[in-house]
Structure 1
Amino acid sequence: MVGPFKTAPGDYTHIFMAVNKFTKWIELKVVTSIESAKAAQFMEEITHCFGVPNRIITYLGKHFTGSEFWDFCKDNLINVYYSSLPHPRYNGLRTQKSQATGYTPFFMVYSSEAILPSVVAFGTPRI
């Protein structure tokens, strides 16, 4: 889930986002509210297109801990795992430059700076 954003035409304020860990395919859906039922509906749409996943890795947002989402996952035999908040600094990715090298540890390992999926999805300018 990404947002809240400034209200868009149609009263959209948030985006549900799913990323396939193997192919890195991104699915997005704009929503007017962040309820457990909306998260379950988003996952149902994904299962209609791509099949039922074995597991979902998410964070403890109220929309992913509500009964509608849990019921959907239970009915479809989807295991739900929780991780840290969806931000590089919360997931242990070191993004502060080293005084010795002038590069971040992430850059030294991956030859690229860490960026959020929302930056990729919306084309936010990078400085």
Structure 2
Amino acid sequence: MSQYEDLSYEVKGNVGVVTLDRPDKLNAWTAAMERSIKQALAAAVQDDAVRVIVITGAGRGFCAGADMNMLQQIQPTNWEDRELAKATREESFDFSSGLGPDVSPHYGDRFGYLF
């Protein structure tokens, strides 16, 4: 079983390949996927062999956006308790590579690690 939920990560030569893996849902984004992608990207950044990271989707679509079933469960009274909010703050990883300037503050906390 993969150590990542809703995605797979492998290194092919010098390329880290992250594949969103919910093809039956067009790879709709979940809280589990958010936690896993952070973990996979952090592993790629720390791997000296990886020079490029490619993010792709399994099946016929890259990512349909947020999983609508998950969005249906959001209640206005517990906004900060929703799964995506928890996934954002549960774990922190070191994404610094020293290969260029740190641009993450310019993209906010949520997805700054992608850059």
Higher relative contact order (CA 8 A, sep 6+): 2
Do the two structures share a fold, i.e. TM-score over 0.5? no
The structure where helix makes up a greater share of residues is: 2
TM-score by length of 1: 0.27
TM-score by length of 2: 0.29
